[in-house]
Structure 1
Amino acid sequence: MPRVFLCLAVVFLLIASAVQAQEASRLETIIQRGTLRVGMTGDYLPFTYFDKAASTFRGFDVDVAEALGKALGVKVEYVRTAWPQLSADFEADRFDMAMGGISITPEREARGLFSRPIMQEGKTPIARCADKGKYQTLADIDQPGTRVIVNPGGTNERFVHANIRNAEVRIHADNLTIFDQIVSGNADLMMTDSSETMYQQKLHPGVLCAIHPDKPFDHAEKAYWLQRDPDLKAFVDRWIEKAGEDGSFKKIHSAWFE
């Protein structure tokens, strides 16, 4: 009887080894499929924006995705998602990687891999320029009567809930129109990534002002969120490194941030 079990164990081991050998890595699957599936929210300029009229994405990370797809020799297929459902869509394997201003968090790291960081920044306020001096610190902001607006489902909402106790917090689901709420006076400020505050300041000169974007309240890194495949991570990391060395990454960055 023990010999029978031993033989069965050997057979199962051989079968498992054969199956493992036949399983392609995520990187190999992408190349064989001919498409890189990229998840994007499409509501976070300058990183990603979905143009409904043209049914296309544009933005910094869209240009990066296209360059990465070219390096892989595949087409890029964009999969639209949203911040509240980003993690669920990632775990459902709706895309190979998520791009579009994704911050590294422990929760996301538990579900997948991150590329090497592409940006260092943190949360900082943006308000009407006339009120810029009123909201320099978290203590200044967290006062009764202050109206803080935030988009749901991401690190912005998490930061607000962790730091705001006394001010009024308003949830605004449309990240594309949230800054209009500040311009029109329906909210006093938003706290978001410094890169976004500087971009919105550029879009609303003299109206909206980024408040000390060079000295944010916290520190975060942006990167690309990858399905758990070491080969895919190695390729993306190496591509980011080479794009930094040859200046192509800086060229894309300058087109959107400068």
Structure 2
Amino acid sequence: MKTMKTLSKAALAGAIAAAGLASVPAPAEAQSQDSRLYRVTSSGKLRVCQYPNYYAISYRSPTSGEIEGIDADLSKELARELGVELEIVESSFGTFIADLQADKCEIGMFGIGATLTRAQAVAFSDPYLISSIYAVVKAGGPVQTWDDIDQEGVRVVVTLGSYIEPFMRDYLKKAELVTVAPPASREGEVVAGRAEVLMTDYPTSVKLGSLFDWAQTIEPDGDLRPTPYSYVVPQGDQIWLNYVNLFVSTIKLDGRLEKFAEKNALGPIVAP
């Protein structure tokens, strides 16, 4: 009786274990179906967060109303690779993390600086651009060299939520830091005389120089806070991140990244 009782318990435990295994999907299958890659291909729509006021990256043309720039082009390429419709969701540097976490979009594509602080909340792809920080001033104004910037009475404007903001907050010792959020703009502050300098990256400095006669770019002595620009996705979805990384690798190898970078005057900052 003792032997039979022991066998019965073992058999019962085995049956329970088998039933439990049968009710749980295979881990790879479960992850695949939960991934945003599966959701995008199933829904036929890719939602891309973009900041529509970023020169040469994702800038809404005042004439056509269309978003133009390298990430306007590359978001279309990503949607084409996936075989889905592209939907642009307007975002900003101050809100893109919340927008991703609230599932307003599957990916952010607008030259987002990959920083350690941001990486605590979102996942970054491999970089596709790398930029230093540049100053843009009024030609003929009081600031003409890099040494003129960090001085008493000089107001330096940055975009709220950008990676440049916290860096400049620590970097500046004498000048006053001014932050603006959309619809206000850094260039508007300089033109209006509320700031003498705007701090920006390579894409914006190039575009401002091409748009405005007053804009003069001042380069730092050597690279200042070189930052990789990457695409950003929610944390915890390795399948989707792997796909985005493969997309970045593919456009580097087949020449599309270089092609669209040159089209938007960003060739010098393409990531290797």
TM-score (norm 2): 0.81
Task: Let me know the Cα RMSD of the aligned residues.
Answer: 2.9
1:171 matched to 2:183: no
8 Å CA contact 1:132, 1:209 repeated in 2: no
Q: For residue 203 of structure 1, report the CA deviation from its aligned partner.
A: 1.4
1:39 matched to 2:46: no
8 Å CA contact 1:44, 1:100 repeated in 2: yes
- What is the match of residue 220 of structure 1? 227
Q: Secondary structure at the match of 1:181?
A: helix
Q: For residue 134 of structure 1, report the CA deviation from its aligned partner.
A: 3.6
Distance 1:179 1:13 in 2: 61
The letter for the 1-side match of 2:104 is R
The letter for the 2-side match of 1:221 is P
Q: For residue 202 of structure 1, report the CA deviation from its aligned partner.
A: 1.7
Distance 1:214 1:120 in 2: 17
Q: For residue 215 of structure 1, report the CA deviation from its aligned partner.
A: 3.5
- What is the match of residue 235 of structure 1? 243
- What is the match of residue 204 of structure 2? 196
8 Å CA contact 2:143, 2:197 repeated in 1: no
Q: How does 1:124-203 map to 2 (within 5 A)?
A: 124-131=134-141, 134-137=144-147, 140-174=148-182, 177-203=185-211
1:209 matched to 2:219: no
Shift in alpha-carbon separation, 1:242–1:176, aligned structure 2, 3 A: farther
Gaps of 5+ in 2: 1-8, 267-272
Distance 1:204 1:93 in 2: 38
Q: Report the more deviating stretch, 231-240 or 112-121.
A: 231-240
Equivalent of residue 244 in structure 1, options 252, 256, 261: 252
Q: For residue 117 of structure 1, report the CA deviation from its aligned partner.
A: 0.7
The letter for the 2-side match of 1:58 is E
Equivalent of residue 121 in structure 1, options 131, 136, 140: 131
8 Å CA contact 1:197, 1:210 repeated in 2: yes
Q: Report the more deviating stretch, 223-232 or 10-19.
A: 10-19
Shift in alpha-carbon separation, 1:154–1:15, aligned structure 2, 3 A: farther
Gaps of 5+ in 1: none
Q: Secondary structure at the match of 2:193?
A: coil
Distance 1:55 1:198 in 2: 21
How many pairs are equivalent?
255
